[in-house]
Amino acid sequence: KRAPQGLKKGSIMSIITRFAPSPTGRLHVGNARTALFCALFAKANGGQFMLRLDDTDAERSTEAFAQGIVDDLTWLGLPYDLTAKQSDRFEAYDAAFNKLKEMGLVYACYETPDELDLKRKRQRARGKPPVYDRAALELSDEEKTKLEAEGRSPHWRFKLSGNKVSWQDLVRGDQLVDTSSLSDPVLVRADGTYLYTLPSVVDDLDFNITHIIRGEDHVTNSAAQIELIAALAGEGGDIPVFAHHPLLVMADGSALSKRLGSLSLESLREDGIDPMSINSLIARLGTPDPVEAHTEMAPIVAGFDLTRLGRAPARFDPAELHRLNVKLLQSLPYEKVADKLLSLGVNCDDKQTGTLFWETVKGNIDKLEDAVALWQIIQGPVESLIDSEDREYLDTAMDCLPVEPWDETSWSQWTTELKKSSGRKGKELFMPLRKALTGQAHGPEMQNLLLLIGPTHVKNRLKG
Ligand code: GLU
């Protein structure tokens, strides 16, 4: 019963992690980091990584966001081995809920949200923590019937044990939560829909999740969830291992939430950020380990260790991501960018030209898209920049052009010759050539550009 979807539970438990976003938005760097941790942990331990869509909130969850999350994970290079969505699994949740009912572990409550709010206000006013007072536990059958006759439908709470729950958190170490300090969690709303808690626990059990890796905003949920898991799994049921990582905050310590739009993977991709720059950075933030630009997952997996995460929030600086992205881009060989360049319209005829182009321009770009403008300089049309006082000089330059075919020595032959003929040197010598040939005052090495632009364009541009 506990192993649907063809999963076999072997004698040696294989590791299964899950990333469980709600499809109510796209992924941003913060939740991508959780996904990465889940994927890396599974990979590092020869386990499996599951994508679970927590889509029980039918109003806010959309198919488009679900697809967006799949696209984002695919783009990041975090393929999942298993997937499930909660909206397919209501039968399993109903069965678990009925089981809890039979065990007397859930109870019907009739307070309206306003009444609960009032209770909490009174508790606070008396300096007490706003914990649910369990008034509903005292209701007699008669009183319940009367409330229902008044048109109230019950919501259902799980009865916490009131004991201390402990677990060994992979990031936070020994954890101890006194469940008598918590409100009994609501599992089912008055309209019959499930809140996150029960479906999450049922899924973690049914899919044999061994490691629950998530943000530390879920720490208090864990105590209640552990009690629920114990109730549902019974004797001999394994409680998953928990790892609650500190959340990502902005470099100045402010919450990520204010800038989520610009920190969505979708917009980072539009900004020309390579997914491996994101992985390289967010896998190491919050650890004492150095951030390096990795173009492959293997070294990221090899250096990954959840226990190296500190307890302080990890700071994310978009500028650091951009710097890393430039570094990573510049470390790539032509073969790794050829397809992408082609799709951007940089259609180098052959590998040799492509390699020369890439080696020439990569130091001058911040993102791959920037290469398009540089390709434009080579392909033309280019509006030559020619100052009137350089006209004669450029005619001399035309006369001094080296013999064809040109090679990597041609630029130096040309400028040596031109220096002799014109008497110019330094900037006076080089700048008019650059401006005439590229239409700009700065750019990549002229030696290579000369070769890439080629004699026909060079002659035309010298003429202006
Ligand atoms: N859907 C929950 C969230 O996005 C999942 C939390 C968990 O990993 O259990 O916060």
Which of 24, 54, 228 to mutate to test ligand 1, by most ligand atoms within 8 A of the CB atom? 54
Q: Given a cut of 80, is residue 280 above it in pLDDT? A: yes
Percentage of the chain with pLDDT > 90? Answer: 91
Question: What's the CA-to-centroid distance between 364 and ligand 1, angstroms?
Answer: 42
Contact 280, 27 (CB under 8 A): no
- Distance from C-alpha of 243 to C-alpha of 225, rounded to nearest angstrom: 14
CA distance 438 to 445: 11
Query: What's residue 11's pLDDT?
Result: 39
The separation between CA 430 and the C-alpha centre of its own chain, rounded to angstroms, equals 46
Locus of tokens 């650091």 = 320
Q: Among 1-5, 182-186, 244-248, 454-458, whose mean pLDDT is lowest?
A: 1-5
pLDDT at 6 over 50: no
CA of 21 to the centre of ligand 1 (A): 6
Global confidence as pTM: 0.86
Given pLDDT bands bounded at 50, 70 and 90, which one contains residue 13? low
Q: Indicate the pLDDT class of residue 237, thresholds 50, 70 and 90.
A: confident
Contact 294, 279 (CB under 8 A): yes
**With bands split at pLDDT 50, 70 and 90, how would you rate the model's confidence at 261?**
confident
Mean pLDDT of the chain: 94
- pLDDT beyond 60 at 107: yes
375-407 confidence digits (pLDDT tens) = 999 999 999 999 999 999 999 999 999 999 999
Q: Determine the atom of ligand 1 nearest the C-alpha atom of 213.
A: 8
Q: How far is the CA of 245 from the centre of ligand 1 (A)?
A: 13
- pLDDT class for 7, splitting at 50, 70, 90? very low
Q: Is the pLDDT of residue 442 over 70?
A: yes
Q: pLDDT tens digit string along 204-224?
A: 999 999 999 999 999 989 999
Where residue 5 falls among pLDDT bands split at 50, 70, 90?
very low
Q: Which of 80, 68, 79 is nearest to 269 (CA)?
A: 68
Confidence of residue 417 (pLDDT cuts 50, 70, 90): very high
pLDDT at 257: 80
For 71-99, how does the pLDDT look when each residue is reduced to its tens digit (9 = 90+)?
A: 999 999 999 999 999 999 999 999 999 99
At a CB cut-off of 8 Å and minimum separation 6, what does 48 contact? 14, 15, 16, 17, 42, 81, 82
Q: What is the pLDDT of residues 340-372, one digit of tens each?
A: 999 999 998 899 999 999 999 999 998 888 999
Determine the residue of 50, 194, 196, 228 to mutate for testing ligand 1's pocket, defined as the one with the most ligand atoms within 8 A of the Cβ atom: 196
- The reply to whether ligand 1 has any atom less than 6 angstroms from the CB of 214 is yes
